[in-house]
């Protein structure tokens, strides 16, 4: 684990979290941080340099295997939702990942020194329910500016010559001040799936006044979430992930979810970089790469300091 001479605390620290589960804390010298549990390979915290929490984790989240952790960034693999024979959202989010001490080199150099590489391989039990050999490598990195980057590399390591197919999502729970004050830009006029039926988005921006559970198709590489009350905009940049899932359970559904507070739907929104409509197929030896980069920028939409169109079209 790397330490920094300019800061008392190490940039990367392995420690114990809730219920003694191991977690890795990433810190940048300006003050931003992220936490990743080895259980699920799951990011559960991302704070800016003002130490404000940017992700939502339910106050009722159960940090106890085999239950998935409600909030943060669960990884849906090898199946999104119920679109296949496995348990909902697959099994990666309720398995113990290992720290990968010697990962293969990354194609792009990163300026971040606060990062951790995790790896998941199937157990004998996993092979019984999903009979495919794979290596799933996940890098979680925090940039000097406080941006959070997740890069997944999934390789077919089978020796039987058979390809496999999977669906995938970074099920990111963003923390918002008030869901009724939030809008999502970048998904206008796109087709989406809802209850497996296909529709076309009509609104000029997506706002929230009831339950939403939609899979937007062929989405741009950049999506913005504007939180008017917090004067904050989240920008999601993604690569290798053509779809985007937008989810908020609203009041009735929230009450039906055991590990979710009745009123917590008001303070969260899931916008998920995903590959759902067209499963990804890997032949033996092939590798897929899917990446998302999250940034949070101050914005004051009313005063025109931040035109959301410029956020989407700009750098």
**Chain Cα centroid distance, residue 199:** 25
Helix H or strand E encompassing 226: strand 222-227
CB 255 within 8 A of CB 154: no
Task: Output the six-digit token pair for 222.
Answer: 């950049």
Active site residue 272: yes
Contacts of residue 159, defined as CB under 8 A and 6 or more positions apart, other chains included, come to: 133, 284
The answer to whether 76 and 65 have CB atoms below 8 angstroms apart is no
* Cβ–Cβ under 8 Å, residues 154 and 164: no
| Residue 314: exposure state from Cβ atoms within 10 A (0-12, 13-18, ≥19) | exposed
Instruction: Determine the 3-state secondary structure of 200 from DSSP.
Output: strand
Q: Please identify which of the residues 28, 35, 89, 171 carries the catalytic annotation.
A: 171
Would residue 171 show up in a list of annotated catalytic residues for this protein? yes
**DSSP 8-state secondary structure symbol assigned to residue 46:** E
Cα separation, 184 vs 245, whole angstroms: 12
What is the SS3 string spanning 112-161? CCEEEEEEECCCHHHHHHCCCCEEEEEEEEECCCCCEEEEEEEEECCCCC
SS3 181: helix
Paired tokens of 208: 């929230």
Distance separating alpha carbons of residues 47 and 298, to the nearest angstrom: 14
Q: Which one is catalytic: 28, 35, 185, 272?
A: 272
The CA distances from residue 114 to 111, 138, 142, 201, in Å, are: 9, 14, 6, 39
Q: What's the rounded Cα separation, in Å, for the pair 176 and 268?
A: 5
Residues marked as catalytic: 171, 272
């Amino acid at each position: 684990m790397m330490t920094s001479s300019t800061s008392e605390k190490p940039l990367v620290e392995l420690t114990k979290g809730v219920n003694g589960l191991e977690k890795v804390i990433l810190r940048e010298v300006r003050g931003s941080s992220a936490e990743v549990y080895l259980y699920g390979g799951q990011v559960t915290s991302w704070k800016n340099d003002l130490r404000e929490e940017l992700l939502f984790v339910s106050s009722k989240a159960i940090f106890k295997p085999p239950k998935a952790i409600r909030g943060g960034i669960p990884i849906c693999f090898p199946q999104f939702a119920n679109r296949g024979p496995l348990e909902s959202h697959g099994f990666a989010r309720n398995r113990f990942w290992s720290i990968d001490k010697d990962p293969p080199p990354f194609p792009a150099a990163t300026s971040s020194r606060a990062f951790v590489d995790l790896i998941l391989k199937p157990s004998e039990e996993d092979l019984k329910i999903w009979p495919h050999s794979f290596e799933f490598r996940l890098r979680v990195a925090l940039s000097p500016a406080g941006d959070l980057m997740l890069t997944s590399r999934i390789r077919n390591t089978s020796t039987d010559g058979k390809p496999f197919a999977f669906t995938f999502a970074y099920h990111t729970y963003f923390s918002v001040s008030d869901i009724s004050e939030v809008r999502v830009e970048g998904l206008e006029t796109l087709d989406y799936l809802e209850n497996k039926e296909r529709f076309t988005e009509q609104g000029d921006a997506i706002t929230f006044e009831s339950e939403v559970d939609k899979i937007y198709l062929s989405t741009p590489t950049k999506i913005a979430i504007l939180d008017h009350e917090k004067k904050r905009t989240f920008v999601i940049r993604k690569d290798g992930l053509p779809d985007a899932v937008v989810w908020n359970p609203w009041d009735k559904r929230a009450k039906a979810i055991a590990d979710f507070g009745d009123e917590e739907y008001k303070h969260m929104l899931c916008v998920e970089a995903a590959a759902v409509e067209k499963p990804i197929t890997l032949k033996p030896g092939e590798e897929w790469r899917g990446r998302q980069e999250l940034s949070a920028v101050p914005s004051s939409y009313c005063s025109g300091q931040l035109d959301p169109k410029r956020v989407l079209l700009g750098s």
